[in-house]
Amino acid sequence: MDELASATVESLLQTPQHPEERALAARYAPIILFDRNEPFLPLAVGYTIYRESGPSPSFPREVELTPPAVMAIEYAIWWDWDIGHLYELEHVWVFVDEKGKVVRGEASWHGGYHDMSIHGALPMEDEHLVLHSEPGKHAFAPEKSWFFQHRSPQMIAATTRRFAGMNGMWITPLFEEQMASFRTPEANRLVLSYLQRLAFDPAWEFDLRFPITEALLVPWPALHRWIPVRIAWWLQKLAEEIPPQEMRFWRIAHRGASAHAPENTLAAFREAARLGADMVEFDVQMSADGQAVVIHDAAVDRFPGHAGEVRHKTLAELKLIDAGQGERIPTLEEAIQVCREELLGMYIELKTGGAIEAVVRAFQEHDLYQWALVGSFRPDWVAAVKQMDPRIQTAILFHSPDIDPVALAQAVNADFVHPCWENAVPQPHTLLTKAWVQRVRDAKLGVILWHEERPEEIQALRRMGVDGICSDAPELLK
């Protein structure tokens, strides 16, 4: 079958299947209540019927038939889109006793799952479990109040608008082998660009009723085979339909909003969030007593009344320094905490090789993989980060326009190239040709650009379809 034709939902739903099994799955299929402003509805549902306990083929759990349940049906519910990323697979489990009565219901919730009963009773309509789907994200709850009890108000407010598309090309372990090659910076930007157009504000009124009908049901193996083909089709479609100048790039506040607040301070990070930045770039070094601190210069000489190198000063001594307007030099931990509070991503530049271990440890302890990347002008440091933890996204920075960006990035296994040409020529964007960008894209690399504060240069860079632009004044990037 032609791959384009096989990617259609219609081709999937025509999958041959056992009519009695399908009818059984339809008998107990859930009813989903969506927010009235929800932009995405399910397209297909893969089912698995359990007549004995066993591992789920599509979710990291064991499905256990504990009495009085004698049968369970797993519904793997497919959407092309989550408001944060490309493709969505949520799950519902319905447990039935020997009399055909539903005795237990469970559903997925942000990587886990939970019981769907309310005060000991299941929300049912005849033989159908009734679920509330989180706006945009589709995690399931038994009632509306659940969302406000288990999600912070700040996250609820940001999820469907500010964070639209920010997770890009999402790949779960279930599809890592088939789709790992799909995860590229260009794919992430295509997804971001598409979903930013669909950002919305939920009404928090769940009056959009969606029963899962027999027509949507297919055996799980058929859905599993179809999904990678569907994702490849979507990426091709987005690449054809979104021109470079319409690509939404990361707005990166250089050393925070350093045009408005002291650079590399918590105040600069908070101001960056207020001005609409997606990420903050900041520099990390090590103190004499082994603490990772956020500061650019190797020495503290430019601060009045202070002198000497950062690496020779303890954290206590560094904290005595007024970094400007009463701000203090932050630790890496303090920077991460503020970025999390302000829902900011992080672009961490290594200013010393001694900070590599601390930065990698921070990624692992705080699970920063979806929220941060590490960059440096030192190729050996970039290579060391990737060797210590291949999950960390990295960028290689360089000054010379004569450097081969692809060869440099491939030598250190970097994910992004970051030319720093802002001081090279009066109009540095002229060095960034379409051929240069295309060669980087063909190598499946992303492009992050120098800090820029001139509107005409920013517009010229935007037309190239890059992944990120740094600026001391992040409001100019909007």
Q: In this predicted model, what pLDDT tens digit does every residue of 364-395 receive, in sequence order?
A: 999 999 889 999 999 999 999 999 999 999 99
Residues 190 and 290 in one domain: no
> Which amino acid, 166?
M
Q: What is the mean pLDDT of residues 2-8?
A: 72
Report the predicted TM-score, pTM, of the whole model to 2 decimal places: 0.93
Residues 132 and 114 in one domain: yes
CATH at 252: 3.20.20.190
Tell me the average pLDDT of the chain: 96
**How far apart are the C-alpha atoms of 314 and 20, rounded to whole Å?**
72
The answer to whether 186 touches 444, Cβ cutoff 8 Å, is yes
Residues 376 and 255 in one domain: yes
> Angle at Cα 176 formed by Cα 173 and Cα 181, nearest 5°?
155
Which tokens in the block code for residue 115?
């019981």
Does residue 3 carry a pLDDT above 90?
no
For the stretch 388-417, pLDDT in tens is 999 999 999 999 999 999 999 999 999 999
| Structural domain containing residue 179 | 3-242
Give the CA count within 13 Å in the CB-facing half-sphere of 275: 27
296 is catalytic: yes
Residues 171 and 127 in one domain: yes
**How far apart are the C-alpha atoms of 416 and 405, rounded to whole Å?**
9
Residues 293 and 423 in one domain: yes
- pLDDT for position 4: 59
In sequence order, the 6+-apart residues with CB closer than 8 A to the CB of 10 are none
Residues 230 and 256 in one domain: no
Residues 223 and 250 in one domain: no
Catalytic option among 114, 296, 306, 366:
296
Catalytic option among 85, 91, 138, 254:
254
The answer to whether 265 touches 253, Cβ cutoff 8 Å, is no
Residues 217 and 253 in one domain: no
Residues 220 and 291 in one domain: no
Residues 214 and 82 in one domain: yes
**How far apart are the C-alpha atoms of 52 and 47, rounded to whole Å?**
15
Structural domain count of the chain: 2
- pLDDT for position 6: 83
Q: How many CB atoms lie within 10 A of CB 36?
A: 13
- pLDDT for position 424: 87
Helical (H) or strand (E) element with 25: helix 19-27
Strand partners, 104: 95
Virtual torsion, Cα 359, 364, 369, 375, nearest 10 deg = 20
- pLDDT for position 232: 96
Residue 2: pLDDT band with limits 50, 70, 90: low
Percent of the chain with pLDDT over 70: 99
Domain boundary among 242, 269, 300: 242
Residue 5: pLDDT band with limits 50, 70, 90: low
Does residue 25 carry a pLDDT above 80?
yes
Percent of the chain with pLDDT over 90: 95
The answer to whether 235 touches 182, Cβ cutoff 8 Å, is yes
418 is catalytic: no
> Which amino acid, 115?
D
Domain boundary among 218, 242, 266: 242
Q: Per residue in 309-328, is it b (16+ CB within 10 Å) or e — as a string?
A: ebeebebebbbebebbeebb
**How far apart are the C-alpha atoms of 318 and 131, rounded to whole Å?**
53
For the stretch 259-298, pLDDT in tens is 999 999 999 999 999 999 999 999 999 999 999 999 999 9
Does residue 214 carry a pLDDT above 90?
yes
Does residue 1 carry a pLDDT above 50?
no
Domain boundary among 227, 242, 257: 242
Residues 205 and 350 in one domain: no
Residues 156 and 92 in one domain: yes
In Å, what is the CA distance from 208 to each residue of 35, 115, 124, 291? 6, 23, 17, 52
Which tokens in the block code for residue 144?
């509306």
